A and B are shown apart, each in its own frame.
Chain A
Amino acid sequence: MNLANLQQKLTAAARHQAPDDRVPYAFEKRILALVAARAAVSGRVLWARGLWRAAVSCVVLAVVCGAIALLTPARPDSSNDLSQEFENTLLASVDQPEATP
């Protein structure tokens, strides 16, 4: 069998086949409705996307802060604590025992 000839015949058969260009009834209305629906949705989607991004950022920030707080070892010796020293200095006059008359 001549395959090249068969190939040519079948290609010619496809060429004879006129493409059907029927369009379903009111197809353009359907497209317009879809376009309108997408436009309405896209406004809401933009808002939702922005809010989700903000929420995710907040959660990430909270997790990072939590992790830092948990992983930072507590100092057993509080004498070097700057806040403690500051407090001691500030309240030094109050903490001093009253002088005996």
Chain B
Amino acid sequence: MERSETELIAAVLRGDRDSFEPLVAKYSPRVFATARRYARRESEIEDIVQEVWLKAFDKLGSFRGEAPFEHWLMRLTVRTCYDFLRGHQRNREYSFSEISEPEADWLDRFVTDPDSASEEAAAAKQLIDRVLEKLSPEARMVIQLLEIEDRSVKEIAQLTGWSVPLVKVRAFRARGEMRKILLRITKDKYL
């Protein structure tokens, strides 16, 4: 008979490490999907997920069972992704010359007729990925959770551990930061 999550967690806490395996198998797809939003290279993604599970094992004693295990795990995942972003801040300078030909074509289409530039195009996806990479870790986190995943400010505060006013301030700054990057990309050619 399949054991419930609560039973599995209790068994792990009693020292039965094998009971951790079903939890990893069940929630890894969700953790991988989240990690893939913040990292590109598969090796980096695996490192993030590995760290999430090791932290989960170490801190399992702090899980009180008031909220579902999945929520607790997602908080851990988001915070680990944020740590990853802070530790891997790459060169955030950006210019039009960096973007690929399909991305430039998509931008041309957007300039001539915004409705003809589909948001489902692969070039648009590549472009937003590039823009997100150039954002500061805080801005990226907020844009990802608020604008892309459509989460509420309260939810973001719970996930990140930031206060609600801080999330609002960071969201305001993040939008400004994103606009600045878009301006830098486009000003060479269109402005």
Q: Does B37 contact A (CB under 8 A)?
A: yes
Cross-interface CB contact of A16 among B30, B119, B186, B190, cutoff 8 Å: B119
Cross-interface CB contact of A6 among B17, B33, B46, B182, cutoff 8 Å: B182
Contact B17 A27 (CB under 8 A): no
Least Cβ–Cβ distance between A59 and chain B, in angstroms: 32
Q: Does B120 contact A (CB under 8 A)?
A: yes
Chain A residue nearest to B52 (CB atoms) is: A31
Chain B residues near A21 (CB, 8 Å)? Answer: 29-30, 32-33, 36
Q: Does A15 contact B (CB under 8 A)?
A: yes
Chain A residues near B29 (CB, 8 Å)? Answer: 21-23
Near B by CB (< 8 A), chain A positions 1-29 give 1-7, 9-17, 19-24, 27-29
Given A5-B114, A6-B110: A13 and B127 interface contact (C-beta under 8 Å): yes
A74 to B134, CA, bound (A): 70
Secondary structure dominating the interface of A:
helix
A99 to B31, CA, bound (A): 102
Q: Does B50 contact A (CB under 8 A)?
A: yes
Q: Does B164 contact A (CB under 8 A)?
A: no
Least Cβ–Cβ distance between A7 and chain B, in angstroms: 6
Chain A residues near B49 (CB, 8 Å)? Answer: 27
A-B contact count (CB 8 A): 104
Q: Does B132 contact A (CB under 8 A)?
A: yes
Q: Mark A24-49, 1 if CB is under 8 A from B, else 0.
A: 10011111101110110000000000
Given A10-B127, A11-B128, A15-B148: A2 and B114 interface contact (C-beta under 8 Å): yes
Given A7-B182, A9-B124: A32 and B17 interface contact (C-beta under 8 Å): yes
Q: Does B101 contact A (CB under 8 A)?
A: no
Contact B119 A20 (CB under 8 A): no
Contact A14 B28 (CB under 8 A): no
Least Cβ–Cβ distance between A17 and chain B, in angstroms: 5
A9 to B120, CA, bound (A): 10
Contact B175 A7 (CB under 8 A): yes
Contact B182 A35 (CB under 8 A): no
Contact B190 A1 (CB under 8 A): yes
A42 to B32, CA, bound (A): 27
Contact A35 B54 (CB under 8 A): yes
A35 to B52, CA, bound (A): 12
Q: Does B57 contact A (CB under 8 A)?
A: yes
**Beyond A1-B191, A6-B114, A35-B17, 14 additional pairs, beta carbon < 8 A:** A1-B110, A3-B179, A3-B186, A7-B175, A15-B148, A19-B33, A23-B28, A27-B24, A31-B21, A32-B20, A32-B21, A34-B54, A35-B20, A35-B54
**Chain A residues close to B by CB (< 8 Å):** 1-7, 9-17, 19-24, 27-32, 34-36, 38-39
